[in-house]
Each structure stands twice: as structure tokens, then as C-alpha cells.
Amino acid sequence: MRQTKYLLFTKKEIPKNSKNISHQLMIRSGMIKKTSSGIYTWLPNGTRVLKNIKKIIQKKLNKNNFLEISMPILQSSKLWIKSKRIDLYGKELFTILDRKQKKLILSPTHEEIITNLIKNTINSYKELPIIIYQIQTKFRDEIRPKEGILRTREFIMKDAYSFHKNKKSLKETYKKIFNIYLKIFLKMNLKIKIKKVKNGIIGGSISHEFHTYYNKHFSYNNSKNKKSIEIGHIFQLNTKYSKIFNTFIKTKKKKKLIEMGCYGIGISRLIGAIIENNCDKNGIIWPISIAPFHVSIIPINMKNNKKVKIISEKIYYQFKKNDIKVFFYDKNEQPGKMFSESDLIGFPYKIIISQKNIINKYVELKNRKTQLIKKIKIKNILKIILKKIKKKIN
Amino acid sequence: MRQTKYLLFTKKEIPKNSKNISHQLMIRSGMIKKTSSGIYTWLPNGTRVLKNIKKIIQKKLNKNNFLEISMPILQSSKLWIKSKRIDLYGKELFTILDRKQKKLILSPTHEEIITNLIKNTINSYKELPIIIYQIQTKFRDEIRPKEGILRTREFIMKDAYSFHKNKKSLKETYKKIFNIYLKIFLKMNLKIKIKKVKNGIIGGSISHEFHTYYNKHFSYNNSKNKKSIEIGHIFQLNTKYSKIFNTFIKTKKKKKLIEMGCYGIGISRLIGAIIENNCDKNGIIWPISIAPFHVSIIPINMKNNKKVKIISEKIYYQFKKNDIKVFFYDKNEQPGKMFSESDLIGFPYKIIISQKNIINKYVELKNRKTQLIKKIKIKNILKIILKKIKKKIN
């Protein structure tokens, strides 16, 4: 991507009313922009990160035979009246009247719809266990939206639902998904704390929350009251919803209520959490598989130096051709601005191209995390970057 | 994908109250399921198609320097009061009161938000032209939702917005996008009719609709009143929204109002339209780049024939390893059921594995569209399928 063709939206100033480093950095690095209380637009940098996160999760789930579907955002309130959750959720539930004065809800979760779907399609225990998931926008009318993307009214969730012929099968799948969650979060450089908690209004018997930590250097204020961020929650629901919606399966001997589990990951919140865990005073330090771009090309004084321009363009072209996500500073800006912005956005690598070095056929390769600089022969730079990226991506 | 691990949700019966072949086939082939009036769940087969469609469009747009973002579904009604569209949309607009009694709307489109985003981030004509897009769920409270996915209350749109320093630049981009649309629709095997139309309540000067046709054999009823399906609409909005929201740019000489265009594709509706254009009496005939799976493996009497099972498993494994999207009928069903279901779903190819042929080291390859069957040496089947798929995909 060329800077001249992109919208960076970066900011030097720390936004007011943001006590969290992740909130500050997401605004400053041009990932998100607030549009209403607890509601954000995802800008190009944020959208790229969001897509990478979705891809990592989808790949892992698909590999483990989770089936992807997409349930509607608008649900009839009837199902929620039947499950009694319309009252239990209370004011956190966004409700809406359509032109025929029928009440609809903006989905915060989908247990009612999925149970009815399974009821109408699965009859035999032979078709179980099955795990279905979606990645979707969800809604909760938070009384006090705060901390940027960590507590919003409109957010993105991965929600999965499993169905079983008995408790033993549910417990096996639950354990399997528990371990998949740990692997996903570890891949994202997150320190994880597990909490065994009560199931609450969602129902069922056993549930675990997956938490990670706020940044202890830069997010003081929140750490005092609330020491961790919930990024995942899994539940053994047992027959709570199958009982409400009469969802039976035939086993060898008799008809019985289907056993159910549900499994959430807060995708948008996860991004804030990753930043809390992966940043320094200069900005974000993205794991390479999540970064909006792998590398930035920083030409020094390109305007007055034809050779710098030629080498920069050549490297950019080579990288693009090899599917490296590369960001090319092609606007002749001051080196200081390009360096600090690259640190802020969190490109894992910078390639610095200056007259001094290209005379000796070198470029400089700077690692965002370690801040170490290496001189690399121009002819080797593609190979080295490919190796670094492949090593982490695959 | 193994049949034993998948949820097909297919139906033999033609659903009642569906006069359109695309609606019937989407229900019957397990792509969608109705949850409320004009609201659907996308099942595994439908979700796979949806993702392929999105991928084709995104690839084309990204290549042409469209920048992807994601704007919120919930918008403050203030912006819509300012643009006066809250009244113009009337009852088609879903509105909602939050817990603080503030009115929000469920976005049917995003001109207001994007204009405000640009206003706060772009200052100079040098940063233009720019084209921004998103693929997102949108809402319209249709008085009579009908024809399945063709007219719903919750739907998926690709909406793009372009910004320009002058009318000339807007016209150039408009023409470019016009041609990109034609290429996208042609890639999807659609016959296209262009209509030059009035801009209506969205505003601006010039606009064109992209239409395609209902199936003339199987969708009689609708064809009488409404002979085509609108799948895309592009607008030269000029300064309508920049005037309302005071969105200026600095040019060399003076400050002036930014010029704007907007460009929609109805993604979910497009899928219905593709089916209207690509089906026969037995089911859907997917273009290979859109199909939920490229090929189905159909073993004949696998239960009583070990060799059929071994060869089927081997081909399945080979295909998976080579990223062929393969569906394996591993449930020992009757041949007739597997054939008719494969036709209904619209796998572009079937591989039929029977005892008679494997003795002579053959399998049968059947083309969904032509219904022609070829005998292929088992050792060549991977190469041949890879060639057919690559040829169409790349």
C-alpha cells in the first residue's frame, strides 16, 4: 500500500477522557473513530487488524470441524419471551418496534434461534455432536460505555454452539474448546487467567471465563478497580434451552432432550486486549500475523535522491509481488515523522533506505519490538523478510 | 468436508409461498432458513457462498485501491435529522430508543457518517480522489418482504463512497466503477441491463442501476410485473452531503465543497440473482468460484465394498491436501439420493466411484452444467480437477 493511496488518520495527541493505553493507541494509530456513545467506525488500519483476527480464529475453528453460519441481527421478541430472557436482560437489551408494531430485539446472543434451528433439522443422535459458529455484530445497551473498544454498545463476537446426545459428549467438546481457546489466545501474545464462574442469566451448570490483563505501566486507573479483561466465556448449558423449546433427539432407546454448550470470544474487545499486552511508550507492537502491515518502507529524502527512490520503488514492487503486506511512505515526509508513526501503528519491521547505505548496497532493517537495527544487503532483503513472515504466519 | 461432519439441511419439497426459483432452491439446498418476516439465517451452504461472493468483490475493489472500513450499524438520528432523510425514509427506517431515550437508527446506508468522517480527516485536495467501502448488514423495514433473499428487512450490502476535488474527477471515478461493476457481474455469469434513473431521495445528479433477469422458465409470476432484479446502483451525489455537513477542501486557490459519489451492490440479493441466472430443473449450477464446494465424491455401495471406500478416502485426502473444496458423501446413502442432492446444491463436478470402474482403474467425472460424464484414470483425477478449478479461479 502506498501512503498516497491510503488513509492513515493518525494523531500525535493523546485523546481526552481515555485512561487506557489500548483506547489511546487505537485512536492515535487510526484504527477506530467514535461516532456515538459506545459506538465506533473501524478505519482502514482497524479493519485490516479485525480481518486478520477473524482469519486466525476461523482457520482454527474450521480445522476443528466447527461449521460457520450467520444468524440474523434482528430477532423476534417471541423467542425471548418464551426463554424469559427478555426480562432478565432488562434495559441492556435493545428492542425495536417494526412498522406493524411487532417487537424485535437487536441480538446480544443467539441461544434461542440456534436451538430452534437444531430442533427443526436434527433428529438422530447419529448426527451429533455438532459445533456451529458465527462471527457477527452484536448489541448491548451499556449504561456506561467506556475504555474505547473494551466496553461498547455495538461489538463483534464469535459465538459458537455445540449440541450433544449426552453430558459426557458435551464435557468432551467443552474441554476441547477450552484448549482451542488457550491456543488462540497464546498465538495472540496474551497472558491468560482462567476463572471458574457461575453461569448467571445465560443458564446451565459449569462455565469458565478467559481473562487477560490491562497494561500495568500505562493503564493504571482501570487496574485499580478491575484487574483483568474478559475476552472469552464458555458455558455448559445442558438442557436449559432444549427444555424451553422442546428440542429432542432420538437415541437407540428413547427420545431425550439435547445437551448444549455455548462459547464466546469478544473479537473487538480482544483487539484492545492484545494492545494492552503488546505495546510500549511509542505505540503498538503487533504480533506479525495480526499487524495491519508487516513492514514499512521508509525512504530518506527521496525527493532529492533519485537512487533512494529507485531502490524504494523496487523493494516495494518486489514485496507486493510476494504477498508481503507492505506500507510505502511515498510522500517525502520528514524521517522523524515516518519513524514515530511506524512505531505508533506498530509495523513489525521498518526498512530504512538512505543514500549513505545504498552506496554500499545496504538497507537498514529495524525490528519494532527489540528496536535493533541490522544492515542487510539489498539483494537479500526480500528473502529475509519472507523468512521472518513465513516463520510466524505458518 | 465429510457429510458426517456437516449440516446439509436440504429438502426435497418445494416450499410453499415461494414463486421464485431462486427462493425455492436456496431453501431446498440448505442455504438459508427464514426466522421472521423478511429475516433469514444463512446456513453452512449459504455462508460458504456468501464468503466466496465477498471475496471476489473485495479482491477486485482492493486491487483498484478501494479502502475497506466498517461503519456502525447503529447511527445517531441527529445526522439523519440534519440531512432530512429521517423523514424522507419514513416508515422504511427502523428507529430505536436507547435507555437514555436517545433515538438511534438501524443503518440502511451511510452517507451521513462517511461525510462526517472525511470532514474530520481530509483537508487537502492532494489527498483526493479516495474511495472507501464496507461490506455490512443493513436494514429496511419493507412493508412486504418477499421472494426470499431478494427482498428482505435485513440484508448485506457492499457500499462504497468516493470523494473528489471536482466534478471531472468524480466523473472519471464513476466511469471506472461502472466498468468494475460490469466485470464483477460478468464474472458471476449474469446478464446485465443498465438503467439510467433519477437519483431519488439519496440526492445528486446522475445515477445508474444494474439489473439482471429473473429465470424465464421457473419464475413466471414475478416476471409479469417486474422483469428484472436490481443488484447494483451507483450515484453522482455531487455536493449534496458536503453542503449539509460543511465539508470543504483546500485547493490551490480556495476552499470548496467536496464532490462525492456512492456505489452499492446488494450482496445477498446478488446471490438470489445468480441462482435465477444459473439453474435448471434439478437445481443450482454454480460458477466454480462461487460454489460452496467444487466437487462431490460419490461412492457407490461403499458399505459393502472395501475398495470403493479406500479409493474414495484416498481421493478425498488428496483433494483436501490440495485445497480443493471437496464434499465427501461418507454416509453410505443410496446413489439416487446423492446424485439428486449434488444436482440440487450445485456442486460443479461429481466424482462417482463404483466397483465396476475401479477394477479398470477409472472413476467417473460428471459435469453439473453439461451433465456429461467422462471416465478418468484414477491417477489423473487430481490433476484434472486442479486444472479445471485453477482455470476458472485464477
Cell of B12: 426435497
pLDDT digits (tens, 9 = 90+) for A34-92: 999 999 999 999 999 999 999 999 999 999 999 999 999 999 999 999 999 999 999 99
Candidate from A99, A132, A154 with C-beta closest to B72: A154
- Looking at residue B313, its amino acid is E
Q: Please give the pLDDT value at position B83.
A: 96
The sign one gets for the Cα dihedral A35, A37, A39, A42 is: positive
Task: Using DSSP bridges, classify how beta strands B248-250 and B255-257 pair: parallel, antiparallel or unpaired.
Answer: antiparallel
On the 0-12 / 13-18 / 19+ scale of CB atoms within 10 A, A264 is buried
8 Å CB contact of B96 and A96: yes
Contact residues on chain A for B113, CB-CB shorter than 8 A: 35, 41
Q: Please give the pLDDT value at position B393.
A: 54
Instruction: State how far residue B207 is from chain A, nearest Cα, in angstroms.
Output: 26
- Give the position of cell 464496507: B134
Phi/psi at B332 (5° precision) = 55, 45
Contact residues on chain B for A121, CB-CB shorter than 8 A: 7, 9
Whether B131 and A53 have beta carbons less than 8 Å apart is answered as no
Length of chain A counted residue by residue: 394
Candidate from B33, B69, B74 with C-beta closest to A117: B33
Closest CA in chain A for residue B115: A35
Q: Please give the pLDDT value at position B225.
A: 60
8 Å CB contact of A154 and B99: no
Does residue A288 have a pLDDT over 50?
A: yes
Query: How many degrees, rounded to 5, is the angle at CA B134 between CA A159 and CA B247?
Result: 135
8 Å CB contact of A42 and B69: yes
Section A287-298 average pLDDT: 97
Confidence of residue A284 (pLDDT cuts 50, 70, 90): very high
8 Å CB contact of A132 and B47: no
Contact residues on chain A for B137, CB-CB shorter than 8 A: 73, 137
Cis peptide before B15 (omega within 30 of 0): no
Contact residues on chain A for B122, CB-CB shorter than 8 A: 7
ipTM value = 0.95
Closest CA in chain B for residue A140: B98
On the 0-12 / 13-18 / 19+ scale of CB atoms within 10 A, A271 is buried
Candidate from A71, A130, A137 with C-beta closest to B41: A71
Whether A297 and A315 have beta carbons less than 8 Å apart is answered as yes
Query: How many degrees, rounded to 5, is the angle at CA A18 between CA A16 and CA A24?
Result: 95
8 Å CB contact of B33 and A67: no
Cell of A280: 510500549
Instruction: State how far residue B26 is from chain A, nearest Cα, in angstroms.
Output: 14
8 Å CB contact of B7 and A75: no
pLDDT digits (tens, 9 = 90+) for A316-366: 999 999 999 999 999 999 999 999 999 999 999 999 999 999 999 999 999
pLDDT digits (tens, 9 = 90+) for A165-193: 999 999 999 999 999 999 999 999 999 99
Cell of B208: 445508474
Section A133-141 average pLDDT: 97
Query: What is the percent of chain A with per-residue pLDDT over 70, rounded to a whole number?
Result: 97
CA distance A30 to A45: 6
Closest CA in chain A for residue B153: A74
Q: Please give the pLDDT value at position B22.
A: 95
Candidate from A47, A113, A132 with C-beta closest to B69: A47
Of A138, A132, A157, A87, whose CA–CA distance to A258 is shortest?
A132
Section A154-163 average pLDDT: 98
Find which of A47, A69, A267 to mutate to test the B interface (most B CBs within 10 Å of its CB).
A69
Tens-digit pLDDT profile for chain B (394 aa)?
A: 999 999 988 998 998 888 899 999 999 999 999 999 999 999 999 999 999 999 999 999 999 999 999 999 999 999 999 999 999 999 999 999 999 999 999 999 999 999 999 998 888 898 999 999 999 999 999 998 888 889 999 999 999 999 999 999 999 999 999 999 999 999 999 999 999 988 887 778 899 999 999 998 888 665 856 689 999 999 999 999 999 999 999 888 889 999 999 999 999 999 999 999 999 999 999 999 999 999 999 999 999 999 999 999 999 999 999 999 999 999 999 999 999 999 999 999 999 999 999 999 999 999 999 999 999 999 999 999 999 987 655 4
Of A157, A209, A201, whose CA–CA distance to A178 is shortest?
A209
Instruction: List the beta strands (DSSP E) in A273-331.
Output: 279-280, 283-284, 295-299, 326-328
- Measured N-to-C along each axis, helices A267-277 and A44-63 cross at an angle, to the nearest 10 degrees, of 110
Q: Please give the pLDDT value at position B16.
A: 83
- Measured N-to-C along each axis, helices A44-63 and A167-187 cross at an angle, to the nearest 10 degrees, of 140
Closest CA in chain A for residue B112: A35
Q: Please give the pLDDT value at position A237.
A: 96
Candidate from B9, B36, B69 with C-beta closest to A121: B9
Whether B156 and B137 have beta carbons less than 8 Å apart is answered as yes
Phi/psi at B383 (5° precision) = -60, -45
Q: What share of chain B is helix, strand, coil (3-state, %, to 5)?
A: 40, 30, 30
Query: What is the percent of chain A with per-residue pLDDT over 90, rounded to a whole number?
Result: 86
8 Å CB contact of B141 and A99: yes
Closest CA in chain B for residue A94: B98
Phi/psi at A219 (5° precision) = -125, 45
Q: What is the DSSP letter of A214?
A: P
Whether B149 and B268 have beta carbons less than 8 Å apart is answered as yes
8 Å CB contact of A74 and B139: yes
Does residue A314 have a pLDDT over 60?
A: yes
Provide CB contacts within 8 A for B286, sequence distance 6+: B49, B274, B278, B292, B346, B347, B348, B368
Instruction: State how far residue B325 is from chain A, nearest Cα, in angstroms.
Output: 13
A-B Cβ pairs (cutoff 8 Å, strict): 128
Instruction: List the beta strands (DSSP E) in B44-189.
Output: 66-68, 74-76, 95-97, 103-106, 130-139, 154-164
Confidence of residue A218 (pLDDT cuts 50, 70, 90): confident
